[in-house]
Amino acid sequence: MKFGILKSKVDRRLLESYSNQTFQKELKTFKKLVLENSNISKLFYLYDELKTNQGLNESVLEDYINECTKIYESTISKIKPQSIEKIKSWVKNTNSKNNYDDIDNLFSKNVLTIESKLKSKNIIKESLSKTPVKKTVPINIPISSMISVANNTIKHYIENLNEAEQKELIKFLNTDEKELKVKFENLKENVVNKLNVIKESEKDSDVITRIDETIKTVSSEKYDKLNYFKLSDLNDNL
């Protein structure tokens, strides 16, 4: 499996886990299999760098790509096959296209794909020379909340939020954990109270049953930042 495909699957796994309420679990696996392996984490960073618009001057592009190629070649040879196999096993049920196909082509040693390699190199150069897109909201996520190498994946999710949602998310990510835990319990109580008020005025038995189920779920929720964010959104919409 090409490294770009493997990384694409990991990106997709993390992104899906953020919406599937399994982010913390997947992040622990990511930390163990990627972040704690210095060579694999180096390649993850390298692929992200080559995929990102950086506004580089044309005069340095060739040297930049050559240096990246040297880093790749010296790093990939140090990675043990079993380390790659563990990641492959982790993401085996995750489907994703290769989002790093041009980078894989750039690093390929297959002499039969020289034309494809040159084409990919030009595409990467064009991307690296583009000016980075300015975000309306600076996305500075604390290391304690999101591991740095995972930031690029999570940023894609955040960038799909509107400006108000981005501000709210970033604000609570930077809030002290103890303060959030207290707010979370207050939020749970507030949501349950609102649901009880709605239930009192409801006559449809099916709706009442669903409200009771929601109350039970909310009451049993344990604190984490994702649950806080979801519960806050529910509270605002009640």
Residues 72, 92, single domain; the answer is yes
Residues 228 and 149 in one domain: no
Report the candidate in 233, 237, 216 with the shortest Cα–Cα distance to residue 225.
233
Nearest-Å Rg of the Cα atoms of the chain is 22
Neighbours of 6 (CB within 10 A): 23
Same domain as 169, residue 124: no
Q: How far is CA 3 from CA 41, 57, 63, 168, in A?
A: 12, 28, 23, 35
Q: Which band of pLDDT confidence, cut at 50, 70 and 90, is reported for residue 171?
A: low
pLDDT range class, residue 212, cuts 50, 70, 90: confident
Tally of domains within the chain: 3
Q: Let me know whether 162 and 105 are in one domain.
A: no
29-43, 92-106, 150-164, range with the lowest pLDDT: 150-164
Q: What is the structure's pLDDT at 169?
A: 64
Same domain, 51 and 77: yes
pLDDT at 136 over 60: no
Q: Which residue has the higher pLDDT, 203 or 77?
A: 77
pLDDT computed for residue 206 by the predictor? 81
pLDDT exceeds 50 at position 200: yes
Which residue range forms the structural domain that includes residue 147? 140-174
Same structural domain for residues 169 and 182?
no
DSSP letters for 149-217: GGHHHHHHHHHTS-HHHHHHHHHHHTS-HHHHHHHHHHHHHHHHHHHHHHHHT---HHHHHHHHHHHHH
Lowest mean pLDDT among 97-106, 168-177, 189-198, 203-212: 168-177
| Confidence check: pLDDT of 191 > 80 | yes
Alpha-carbon span 32 to 9, nearest angstrom: 16
Same domain, 185 and 144: no
